[in-house]
Amino acid sequence: MFGGKAKSSGRVFVKICGITNQADALAAIDAGADALGFNLVRRSKRYIDIDKAAGWIDKLPNEIRKVAVVADPNWEDACRVGQLRFIDALQLHGNESPEFCRRLAEARVRFAKAFPVRDPDSLRNIPDYFTDTIVLDSAGELDFGGSGQVFPWKFAARFIRARKDLFIILAGGLNVQNVAQAVELLRPQGVDVTTGVESCPGSKDHALVKEFVQAARSARSKV
């Protein structure tokens, strides 16, 4: 739901998540990122108050996807955040039901659904969540995309090959050293990074952000 523009670009879609400040956002954009993620889960180390950050997020370029990461939001909060003029989509990281997702789709709230990949059965018999954008992530308990742990990629390989109807974004422990290998082996449409480009939780290392984007894009050119 937020990957549409990238589908026709022919290059790997790159999202930098856990953005907490304007300087990091601008550095990610300068590095070539397609999307930025803002964590609205209060118990996360990268939580931001979306209302307080509205001023600088609203000034970011329109062509950059601005994604609000949430986990088990109530209906009112999901609709309110999803309909903010400076937010392009939600990224659902909780136990949101297919019915909840259907209602969001009917309300024209754009969203992606994240799935924790724990074992070979994690991606079997997934019901319809009414979105074409899926994020495959590690099964961290509290980090919501910032665990820094890699899940066994073999568990995702068959799913990615089989589901050509989906825009699949690979997350979970990606960094400058392994993102090229991940893209070459799995061929996801996109990649998502948080911890792998940080100097500390909530602060990005701008040099690593640039290296990550370059590594992801160079790998796609070899596929």
Q: Which residues on neighbouring strands pair with residue 203, listed in sequence order?
A: 200
Please, how many CA atoms are within 13 Å of residue 56, restricted to the half-sphere of its CB? 14
In whole angstroms, give the CA distance from residue 114 to residue 106.
19
Biggest CA pair distance of the chain: 44
- Beta strands (DSSP E) in 64-120 are 65-70, 89-92, 111-116
> What is the phi/psi pair of residue 57, to 5°?
-65, -40
200 classed as catalytic: no
User: Does the annotation mark 192 as catalytic?
Assistant: no
Show the tokens assigned to 58: 């609203």
Active-site pick, 17, 88, 143, 192: 17
Spot the catalytic one: 88, 137, 143, 192. Answer: 137
The residues assigned a catalytic role are 17, 137
